[in-house]
Structure 1
Amino acid sequence: MRIRLSAQGLVLGFMLTLLVVMGLYHQNIQRLSTAITLYDADKIGHNFLTMYKAFNAQRIEASAKPYYFAVNYQDLPEFFDFEGQSISVQDFLADSHTHGLMVIKAGEIVAEHYYLEDKADKQHISFSVAKSFVSALFGIAIKEGYITNIEQHVTDYVPELIGSGYEGVRIKDVLQMSSGVKFNEDYGDFFSDINRFSRAIAFGTSLDDFCASLSREREPGTYHHYVSIDTQVLGMILTRATGRTLSEYLNQKIWQPMGMQDAAYWLTDENGMELALGGLNITLRDYAKFGWLYLHQGRWLNARGESMQIVPQQWVADSTKADAPHLQAGENNPDSSSADGYGYQWWIPAGANDEFMARGIYGQYIYIDPDQELVIVKNSANHQYTDQTQRWGDKHLALFRAISAHFVIH
């Protein structure tokens, strides 16, 4: 009898211990499960609209004085041309698994479409579109005197990175994705640095510690290599310099004064540090407002006649141009890993006149064409994104240019 009770006690003790462990780590296990299946064809659409529910997130409240664009709905073009091939716009929107598409022309919404699970009031993950928001906050922080200038070294503000690949690197080189830090950004490689980073997020690991673990590969400021962690380092600088979280600073300097009409969510680690490189969750119409802000060189203009300089005009100008040879657009640029040009966390597409864009993996875009007074926002959940043969990026640019031409006011 004693042996039986002892065995039962062991089993009971094991079960209680297992339940406690499962309780303690349930959230991590749930996050890891979401991270592993994030891009699965049958889950990606739902995941992209509920990221802030699956992971730690900081809520940014809607503006107390929301602004609404005027509406003047018109038809989209039926077709666009891609290298001599006529492609149906609606077929492409379906093939690229579009969630939302909005076109702002001359201050009016001329097109607004939602597909699959998306709706006007749903927050969609930004991925790397968030980088352009971080750039805006950086320009504001410099104007307010929190950061002296971008010629300073990263470690002037984040001494924890002394001894890492970021030691001795100028802030400007980090802004321009030219830090020289070694990093594998291949989303199709399970063991790549970016996917290791994703798993770190799932386990709630310190994002700051991950940044400090990276090493140097090239001389800073000589080669354009898209390294998402560069933006995470910019986030570290901002939090140290301003004494505020990224969410607080975004709320105070952009969300409230611009009249953002919906709440947003910024994913964080267990320590409350935001996923600066891609963790924003925003509605389509508020992404569009941010694009409209940059179309007007950082000045917020609306139908109520209100005008204020949110982001310094010179910062916007500097952010949206490639000011060095390694940042220039071109298929044959030996000092760049991209065919497109790059500024301060903004892309300058090949062949651009005055166009520039924010873009994120799996089909997230804010496309801005200033001389046409046009902004296009597109959210997607394209599980085929890593299929390079499809040339999704090139096709999207062709689509955006066709939409811009379609809405020219004669």
Structure 2
Amino acid sequence: MMKNSSRVFLVLALLIFATAVIFKSEIRRGYFALTLFSGKEQFENFARLPEIFPSRVMAASTTPYQFPPYRGATMGLPEHFTFDGRPVARDAFLAQTDTAALIVLKDGAVAYENYWLSGGQDVPWLSMSVAKSFLSAAIGIAVAEGHIESIDQPITDYVPELSQSAYGGVRIKDVLQMSSGARWNEDYSDINSDINRLGRIIALGGTLDDFVAGIARAEPPGTRLHYNSADTQALGMLLTRATGRTVTDYMAQKLWQPLGMQSNGYWLTDEQDMEMVFFGLNATARDYAKLGELYRKEGVWRGQQIVPRDWVRASVTPDAPHLHYGASGNAIFPLGYGYQWWVLDGDQGEYSAVGVYNQFIYVNPAERL
């Protein structure tokens, strides 16, 4: 009896060991997905994702550009500031928000730069939804090059496999403006939300294209701002089908190289090598800042028009009532919305790319920031 029990135990142990070996990468990804968004693991993982998940590389530019130092008055962070009528201590705020890096450009020059949790200026960090604004720029270039005839076309003219989904017949413009009409729940705190179901594909394997093709419609498109990361993933499918190239290859040629990105950029991918364009860009703070400076200059980079000026302006201009500041109670923030950019209220033309875990590319044209 004892020998039989030992044999059973040995067989079970071997099965567990074999399973762990065979599914080593899946187990590792699953662990990282479970610990990705909290505590010490969060800021450690955000700098390591290309090591854990499949990814594509956008090589650093062959002609890297380094921002010059600002020649004006030295800029520092005040020890205290006022927010919403209350005093806030700088150090407490930086700790509470797990601030990893901060770079401030004034007139295209570095007025302030510091690093805390990130490991330094050469470490790429996960963008979360800041990636959406990069994708928008690439789509604007694709429109200018004629790969996409018009954003008033249905997205299914280019991605017919979405015809039976929420995106059937929906204008590309409505998808850009998070107004597709798709049924969607972006609540990260709800384990059964759509964004967390999408996250399980990241952890356990699966195809993003199939996931997007299975989304149903909830309301007429073009009538309500309803923040939806699947809208961005559908736009990634659009860019791939329209250009005949991967998102990585197209963006590397049209953005990464021309902007003189100093470091490699990484796109996380699914098991079919489709980029997770709704959140999966990894880059350094300096290279993220280059998109902000490009948009501040209305798509011009060192004398060359990289993104069409009209596209940049449209991207940061809410052009329908449901996109205006505070118009939608279902948006993540009570801000205006353009083509995958958040638009702030006020008279300085401010706008921002925003990631859910405090990733920002903030642009203030009036202050030349």
- Counterpart code for 2:163: I
Alignment match, 2:323 = 327
Deviations 1:288-310 (A, max 9, x none): 11110000001002xxxxx2111
Alignment match, 1:44 = 42
Deviations 1:46-77 (A, max 9, x none): 01111221211111111111100112353223
Aligned match for 1:315, one of 300, 311, 317: 311
Distance 1:135 1:261 in 2: 21
Pair 6,86 (structure 1): closer, same or farther in 2 beyond 3 Å: closer
Shift of 1:204: 1.9
Distance 1:364 1:142 in 2: 27
Shift of 1:162: 1.6
Alignment match, 1:356 = 351
**Equivalent residues in 2 for 1:59-138, closer than 5 Å:** 59-72=57-70, 74-138=75-139
| Contact in 2 for aligned 1:326/1:336 (Cα 8 Å) | no
Name the stretch that deviates more: 334-343 or 149-158.
Answer: 334-343
| Contact in 2 for aligned 1:138/1:238 (Cα 8 Å) | yes
| Contact in 1 for aligned 2:227/2:330 (Cα 8 Å) | no
| Contact in 1 for aligned 2:104/2:110 (Cα 8 Å) | yes
Distance 1:338 1:86 in 2: 23
Distance 1:243 1:336 in 2: 33
Name the stretch that deviates more: 12-21 or 142-151.
Answer: 12-21
Alignment match, 1:221 = 222
**Equivalent residues in 2 for 1:6-405, closer than 5 Å:** 17-72=15-70, 74-301=75-302, 307-330=303-326, 333=328, 338-374=333-369
Distance 1:288 1:226 in 2: 24
Distance 2:330 2:53 in 1: 37
| Contact in 1 for aligned 2:226/2:328 (Cα 8 Å) | no
Pair 351,134 (structure 1): closer, same or farther in 2 beyond 3 Å: same
Distance 2:240 2:88 in 1: 45
The alignment's C-alpha RMSD in Å is: 2.0
Shift of 1:91: 2.7
Distance 1:334 1:255 in 2: 36
| TM-score computed with the length of structure 2 as normaliser | 0.94
Shift of 1:166: 1.0
Say which SS state the counterpart of residue 71 (structure 1) adopts. coil
| Contact in 1 for aligned 2:29/2:53 (Cα 8 Å) | yes
| Contact in 2 for aligned 1:197/1:210 (Cα 8 Å) | yes
Deviations 1:224-272 (A, max 9, x none): 0000110000000000111111111111001111110011111000111
Distance 1:286 1:333 in 2: 32
Distance 2:245 2:33 in 1: 28
Pair 285,11 (structure 1): closer, same or farther in 2 beyond 3 Å: same
Say which SS state the counterpart of residue 248 (structure 1) adopts. helix
Name the stretch that deviates more: 144-153 or 47-56.
Answer: 47-56
Say which SS state the counterpart of residue 218 (structure 1) adopts. coil
Pair 71,40 (structure 1): closer, same or farther in 2 beyond 3 Å: same
Say which SS state the counterpart of residue 311 (structure 2) adopts. helix
Pair 4,333 (structure 1): closer, same or farther in 2 beyond 3 Å: closer
Pair 125,337 (structure 1): closer, same or farther in 2 beyond 3 Å: closer
Pair 26,294 (structure 1): closer, same or farther in 2 beyond 3 Å: same
- Counterpart code for 1:60: M
Say which SS state the counterpart of residue 366 (structure 1) adopts. strand
- Counterpart code for 1:227: N
Shift of 1:94: 2.1
Distance 2:332 2:295 in 1: 26
- Counterpart code for 1:70: P
Distance 1:4 1:339 in 2: 67
Say which SS state the counterpart of residue 232 (structure 1) adopts. helix
| Contact in 2 for aligned 1:71/1:108 (Cα 8 Å) | yes
Name the stretch that deviates more: 179-188 or 52-61.
Answer: 52-61
Distance 2:170 2:360 in 1: 29
Pair 64,337 (structure 1): closer, same or farther in 2 beyond 3 Å: closer
Distance 2:88 2:274 in 1: 43
Distance 1:29 1:335 in 2: 35
Distance 1:97 1:336 in 2: 24
Shift of 1:348: 0.4
Distance 1:169 1:114 in 2: 43
Distance 2:278 2:199 in 1: 11
Name the stretch that deviates more: 76-85 or 338-347.
Answer: 76-85
| TM-score computed with the length of structure 1 as normaliser | 0.85
| Contact in 1 for aligned 2:57/2:267 (Cα 8 Å) | yes
Aligned length: 366
